[in-house]
Amino acid sequence: MKITAVIDKIENETQAVLEIEGKGHIAWPAELLPENCSAGCVVSIKIERDLEKEKSLKENILNLQEKLLKNKR
């Protein structure tokens, strides 16, 4: 999914407020904006599910749970 937003404002050089067309506003870390962006610039955000990362995180959690259970015994 690709979202188009207008940078409404940047607060304290740390957080941007992005206006999503007809959907509201979201806070976004200013450091994650492209270079030379300021209020009024139009940006695109691509959101997609990362199945590889999900699998890796689940495996890490299961490994940690196993270690915890072994240490309890």
pTM listed for this prediction: 0.71
Q: Are 57 and 14 in contact (CB under 8 A)?
A: no
Domain 2-72 in CATH 3.40.50: no
| pLDDT tens digit at each of 73 positions of the chain | 999 999 999 999 999 999 998 899 999 999 999 999 999 999 999 999 999 999 999 999 999 999 998 887 6
CB 13 within 8 Å of CB 44: no
pLDDT score, position 64: 93
Domain segments of the chain as ranges? 2-72
